[in-house]
Structure 1
Amino acid sequence: MLSRIAVPLLAAAGLVFACGPRTPSPLANARPKAGADKGITSHVMVDTANGSVRFAIEVTNDSPKRVELRFPDGRTHDFSVLTSDGREVWRWSEGRLFTQGIQNRLLDAHDSTIYDERWTPPAPGRYVLVAQLHSETHPVRQRVEFALR
């Protein structure tokens, strides 16, 4: 029953995120990065419009075969924000509880999955986003610099 509701809601959320308002807004992007397997790439986006910040990491299977993303627990991804001098000011997973069960996600050939979150910044400044996919089979970690005015 939960999957009947969760899957359409997640698909709608991804569509809203991907097709949301496109007013001129500062964006920071990281170029696609190859993961542990040559067929896995990731793309990180930071959108700083409207007073809050949206982060997304898209993981794509560019190979001709299906791949398995295996996670050791319920935490599939994480985002952390650092100041320009390296001090952590926010971590998405901080204070959250995650299941202890192993989980798997299959990505068909040329398929993608997106993980996205929001952050309300404490003050303007220069920051660094560290986006991570916590897969044991295809780990990804990317950094993107961005500024808030």
Structure 2
Amino acid sequence: MTLEGSLEARVSTDGDGTGSPAVAFRFTVTNTGAEPLELQFSDAAKAEFVVQDEDREVWRFTEGRAFMQMLSAERLAPEESTTYDGEWERPRPGEYTAVAELRAQEASCEARTEFIVPD
């Protein structure tokens, strides 16, 4: 999915809660433009991960967590990617949608993927 003109995003899951107490998320953001981009962040949480059951939110990565308040920046050259990770511990069995969103100050993009946590 491309938003903000020159950012493309995708999210994937590693694991399904089977044999592991968690589902890991990998959110990759790529600069598809011809110019370098500088992503500015106001805290250490550079990406948000949300798990939805249909339209109902069942888990949010940043909920109940504290993140260091610090200004930082990441520069992405044309066609360069960066990846952010999150983890949902003790997921409940079911069919879900994972939504990942970049938390940069002046750029935004998001990606979605469906996944299943078996019984």
CA-based RMSD of the aligned residues comes to 1.8
Which structure 2 residue ranges, 5 or more long, are not aligned? none
- Counterpart of 2:26 in structure 1 is 56
Larger-Rg structure: 1
Q: Does residue 41 of the first structure (1) align with residue 11 of the second (2)?
A: no
Please report the TM-score for the alignment, with normalisation by the length of structure 1: 0.68
Q: Which of the two has greater helix per residue?
A: 1
* SS of alignment partner, residue 69 of structure 2: coil
TM-superposed deviation, 1:49: 4.3
Q: Which runs of 4+ in 1 moved over 6 A?
A: none
Please report the TM-score for the alignment, with normalisation by the length of structure 2: 0.82
Q: Which of the two has greater strand per residue?
A: 2
Which structure 1 residue ranges, 5 or more long, are not aligned? 1-32
Q: Does residue 105 of the first structure (1) align with residue 74 of the second (2)?
A: yes
Q: Does residue 82 of the first structure (1) align with residue 52 of the second (2)?
A: yes
Percent identity between the two aligned chains = 34
Correspondence 1:1-149 to 2 at 5 A = 33-36=1-4, 38-49=5-16, 51=18, 52-84=22-54, 86-149=55-118
Seen in structure 2, the aligned counterparts of structure 1 residues 72 and 50 have a Cα distance that, compared at 3 Å, is closer
Q: How many aligned residue pairs are there?
A: 115
C-alpha separation in 2, matches of 1:111 and 1:40 = 10
Corresponding letter in the other structure for 1:64: A
Alpha-carbon deviations, 1:108-147, whole Å to 9, x = none?
1211100112223432111111111101222112232222
Seen in structure 2, the aligned counterparts of structure 1 residues 39 and 100 have a Cα distance that, compared at 3 Å, is same
Seen in structure 2, the aligned counterparts of structure 1 residues 99 and 123 have a Cα distance that, compared at 3 Å, is closer
